[in-house]
Amino acid sequence: MSSPLPSYAIVTPARNERENIERLAESVVAQNVPPAAWIIVDDGSDDGMDEVAQRLAGEHAFIHLERTNEGSDKLEEGRRQGRDLLAFRLGVRRLPAPVDVFVKVDADTSFDADYFGELMAKFAADPQLGIGGGTCYELEDGVWERVKVNAAHPRGASRAYRWALYDDVMDLEPTLGWDGVDEVMAELRGFHTQGFTDIGFRHHRRVGEREGRLRAGSALGRQAWYMGYRPSYLMLRAAYRSRTNVASIAMVYGYAAAAAARDPRCPQPLVVDRVRDQQRLREVLRSRVPV
C-alpha cells in the first residue's frame, strides 16, 4: 500500500510579474494534486500584478495575496540582499496552517499538471529528503533544454522544503547565497537534498537574463565568498562552467572583489566547514557531477 502524499503549499515572491503570474496560475490551478494554499507575495509591483493576484484570490479559495510592508518587510534592496528570501519567509509565515512541505516557486515558471503530485511522491517515498525539486528546463533556440547542475542541488525557481526545516529557513540570513546555505543546514540536520531528473519544470526567464550574464556570474562569485568556498574550487567551478558560458569567468571577479572588500561571510562555522570539506579535490573527483 503506497504512502499518502504529503500536503503542500506554494509561496511565490513576485514583483512586476503580471504576465508571468497569469501563466503560473494556469499551471497551479491545473495541478492533479492541488496545494493546500498558494501565497503570492507582491513586493510593490507597479505593472498591475497586484490586481491580477487579487482577481485570482477571488476566483480560488486556496490562493491568497500578501503584500510587503514598510520597515523590515519592505523588500526593495534586490536579490543581493536576499529580497526573495524575505518575501518567501513572509509568505510561509502567512500560511493558513502548517503543511508537510512548503515550496518556493518563482513567478516565471510553469509546470505540467502532474508536477507537484510527482514531487510530493518523492517526499512520501523518502523521509530523509529535506529539500527537493524537479529539473529546470530553459528555452534554447526554440527547444526546451535541461539545465545541468549538481544532482544534489534543487533549483531555486522551484524548491520544496520539508516542514521540519521551517525554523532553519526562517533563521537564514537574507543575503545572496542563502539558497546554498539552506542545503548545508539540511544536511547537518540529517536530511539530504535532491534535484530529480524524471520530473521537470519550465523556466521562462533564463538565469541572469534580468541583470545580465556578467553581473549574474559576479553575483555567484560573491555568493561563493559568503559561503566560504575554497579559492581552488571556485576556480575549478568557473572554468567548468565557462565551457558553455564564458561569462562564468566573472565568478572569479566577484569572489575576488568580495574578498578585497572584506564582505561578510556566513556566520555559522559548521556550515562553512561542511562546504569546504565537500570541496576537497578528492571529494570533487569522487562525485563526478557538474560544479
Q: What is the pLDDT of residues 171-207, one digit of tens each?
A: 998 887 788 899 999 999 999 999 999 999 999 987 6
Residue given cell 518563482 in the structure block: 106
> What backbone phi and psi angles, to 5 degrees, belong to 156?
-65, -20
Q: What is the pLDDT of residues 194-204, one digit of tens each?
A: 999 999 999 99
Whole-number percent of the chain with pLDDT over 90 = 57
The mean pLDDT value for 21-46 works out to 96
Q: What is the pLDDT of residue 2?
A: 61
Q: What is the mean pLDDT of the chain?
A: 87
Q: What is the pLDDT of residues 49-93, one digit of tens each?
A: 999 999 999 999 999 999 986 444 444 444 445 788 999 999 999
Q: What is the DSSP string of 51-79?
A: HHHHHHHHH-TTEEEEE--SGGG---S-G
Burial 132-171 (b: 16+ CB within 10 A, else e): bbbbbbbeeeeeeeebeeeeebbbbbbbbbbbebbebbee
User: What is 8-203's CATH number, 3.90.550.10, 3.20.20.10, 3.40.50.300, 3.40.640.10?
Assistant: 3.90.550.10
Report the distance separating Cα 42 and Cα 16, nearest Å. Answer: 8
> What backbone phi and psi angles, to 5 degrees, belong to 262?
55, 45
The mean pLDDT value for 13-31 works out to 96
More confident: 241 or 263: 263
Ranked by mean pLDDT, the top range of 101-115, 207-221, 243-257 is 101-115
Q: What is the pLDDT of residue 244?
A: 73
Q: What is the maximum alpha-carbon separation in the chain?
A: 58
More confident: 163 or 288: 163
Ranked by mean pLDDT, the top range of 77-81, 114-118, 154-158, 277-281 is 114-118
> How do the domains of the chain map onto residue ranges?
8-203, 213-287
Q: What is the pLDDT of residue 280?
A: 77
More confident: 69 or 214: 214
Residue given cell 526567464 in the structure block: 205
| Cell triple for 47 | 505593472
